[in-house]
A and B are shown apart, each in its own frame.
Chain A
């Protein structure tokens, strides 16, 4: 019994510690988002050709980066879960996938918003947008599988297998859409990223990339902590309730 109490205390301390980390991270994230918004929307010079429209670049690119980062984490955590079988990896994969779907949606939205004034249409089957769209479908299926799949370990293993297959599929989808575009339209489709980039623009992009990564880390930590706490409470309830 004594060890149980001790375990509870250390766990309690760990939870408190995590709480402080989360609060600190939230503060940092808020400041960085504000700075990035200022830099991207006001401080950076307007683009010589595209004008203010180009400013979405500071958000579209970091969002895309976070999307891929999230699915990369799903991939790694899925492998770790299948190998180790510990629930923590499963919680991490699920949490990263949820945030990844959110960001994949934003990739498509910001891509379209950017594309409209540049191309004159909302949608072009560029390799980037095509891949993002397929990615979005794959991880939406992942979330559906989580909901409709069997409860407990089997459902988690299903999701892990899809998390692995889905991520490996991404480069193959990308490559096939490049081949496909070449076939339909000889010559490269010139994307919005085609123009030259000023140094100050690069600075803003870098800051924005760091901010989005911090924001992602914060969201992931929150989601992961919540999921873990839910699992602990459920377990207590099952055992003693």
Chain B
């Protein structure tokens, strides 16, 4: 199992893309949150998901992260069916969500150690120290999460997502709650992740931030991908206008 995931991780030029989504539908009873999503994301690329509130961005991230079951359709991560090889897929994914997934009454270090054990991270203490350094947390690692500011909690949450060196990062509005310094740190971390051949999907409301690192953009609207384009061939001016039109409330 471990050797397989290791080869998958390094062999980014393999035939399977980082992420492949086919005919994804997710319903919550009478409410259809996703109405048929198709996506392919190659290794080394970043997909920026835009869309108004309620368009299905968070649901999409949840389904990709194995937190929600698809009602129909298929998700493949590095060619692995996400449902049949759930444990392997989860090893490859790192998630930054609205929640930090941290326990208030444990220190940041204890939280990270706990997740490191769950992910079977080798040499967890070095890993935690390294990430603490990279995210400017070194001085705060031994404080209880409850006593940390929101921004610092968010940083610990990002460290938690990166602990097991995931190949595919899923980030749901990662910039919310971060101060400009932390946002810049995150951006550089994400760039390094891309340079190393990793991939990422992130949702955002900020067109400027989204376009800064995206290789491809997509706009979600009412559970469907309403628009998608390569970043390179994108007319930024036109996209700004288009996005505003999509997110405008009312007719």
Does B35 reach chain A (CB closer than 8 Å)?
Answer: yes
| Contact of B69 (CB < 8 Å), options: A153, A238, A239 | A153
Q: Is B147 an interface residue (CB 8 A)?
A: no
Tell me if A155 counts as interface (CB < 8 A to partner B).
yes
Residues of chain A contacted by B30 (CB below 8 angstroms): 151, 234, 238
Contact of B250 with A by CB under 8 A: no
Q: Give chain B residues whose Cβ lies under 8 Å from the Cβ of A153.
A: 27, 69, 71
Which residues from chain B contact A234 at a C-beta distance below 8 Å? 30
Which of B29, B30, B31 counts the most chain A CB atoms within 10 A?
Answer: B29
Q: Cβ of B29 and Cβ of A151 under 8 Å apart?
A: yes
Flag B24-38 by CB within 8 Å of A: 1 or 0 each: 000111111001000
- Please name the residue on chain B nearest to A157 by beta carbon: B69
Residues of B85-103 at the interface with A, using a CB-CB cut-off of 8 Å, are none
Bound Cα distance from A150 to B69, whole angstroms = 13
Interface size on B, residues (CB 8 A): 9
How many angstroms from the CA of A151 to the CA of B32 in the assembled complex?
11
Which residues of the partner chain A approach B35 to less than 8 Å between Cβ atoms?
A: 238-239
Docked complex: A208-241 residues within 8 A CB-CB of B: 234-235, 238-239
Distance from B18 Cβ to chain A, minimum over Cβ atoms (Å): 26
A197-B27 Cα distance, complex, nearest whole Å = 55
Complex alpha-carbon distance, A85 and B78, angstroms: 24
* Chain B positions 7 through 34: 1 when the CB is less than 8 Å from some CB of chain A, otherwise 0: 0000000000000000000011111100
Q: Check if A238 sits within 8 Å of B27, measured CB to CB.
A: yes
Q: How far is the CA of A151 from the CA of B71 in the complex (A)?
A: 12
Q: Which residues on B sit within 8 Å (CB–CB) of A155?
A: 29
Distance (whole angstroms) from the CB of B198 to the closest CB of chain A: 31
What is the minimal beta-carbon distance from A214 to any residue of chain B, in angstroms? 33
Q: Number of A interface residues, CB 8 Å? A: 10
Most buried by A among B27, B31, B35: B27
* Bound-state Cα–Cα, A155 to B30, Å: 12
With most chain B CB atoms within 10 A of its CB, the pick from A152, A153, A155 is: A152
Query: Beta-carbon contacts of B67-89 to A below 8 Å, as 1s and 0s?
Result: 00101000000000000000000
Q: B-facing mask of A147-176, CB < 8 A → 1, else 0?
A: 000111111000000000000000000000
Residues of B within 8 A of A154 (CB): 69
A42 to chain B, nearest CB (A): 49
Residues of chain B with a CB closer than 8 A to A151's CB: 28-31
Chain B residues, Cβ within 8 Å of A152? 27-29, 31, 71
**Chain A residues closer than 8 Å to B32, beta-carbon distance:** 235, 238-239
CA distance A83 to B175 in the complex (A): 39
Min CB–CB distance B21 → chain A (angstroms): 18
Chain A residue with the shortest CB-CB distance to B69: A153
User: A155 — nearest CB in chain B belongs to which residue?
Assistant: B29
Residue of A nearest to B83 (CB): A85
Cα A134 to Cα B181 with chains together (Å) = 61
CB neighbors of A among B44-83 (8 A): 69, 71
A208, chain B: closest CB distance, angstroms? 39
A212 to chain B, nearest CB (A): 33
Cα A92 to Cα B236 with chains together (Å): 52
Residue of B nearest to A237 (CB): B30
Query: Shortest beta-carbon distance, B67 to chain A, in Å?
Result: 11
B25 (CB) vs chain A CBs: closest residue:
A239
Closest-CB distance, B48 to chain A (whole angstroms): 27
Report how far A155 CA is from B31 CA in the complex, Å: 14
A134 to chain B, nearest CB (A): 30
List of A residues within 8 angstroms of B28 by Cβ: 150-152
Q: Determine whether the beta carbon of A238 is less than 8 Å from that of B71.
A: no
The 10 closest A-B pairs by CB, nearest first: A151-B29, A238-B32, A152-B28, A152-B29, A151-B28, A152-B27, A234-B30, A153-B69, A153-B71, A239-B35
Since A153-B71, A239-B35 are in contact, a sample of 15 more A-B pairs with Cβ atoms closer than 8 Å, ordered by chain A residue number, is A150-B28, A151-B28, A151-B30, A151-B31, A152-B27, A152-B28, A152-B31, A153-B69, A154-B69, A155-B29, A234-B30, A235-B27, A238-B30, A238-B31, A239-B32
Q: What are 25 A-B contacts with C-beta separation under 8 Å?
A: A150-B28, A151-B28, A151-B29, A151-B30, A151-B31, A152-B27, A152-B28, A152-B29, A152-B31, A152-B71, A153-B27, A153-B69, A153-B71, A154-B69, A155-B29, A234-B30, A235-B27, A235-B32, A238-B27, A238-B30, A238-B31, A238-B32, A238-B35, A239-B32, A239-B35
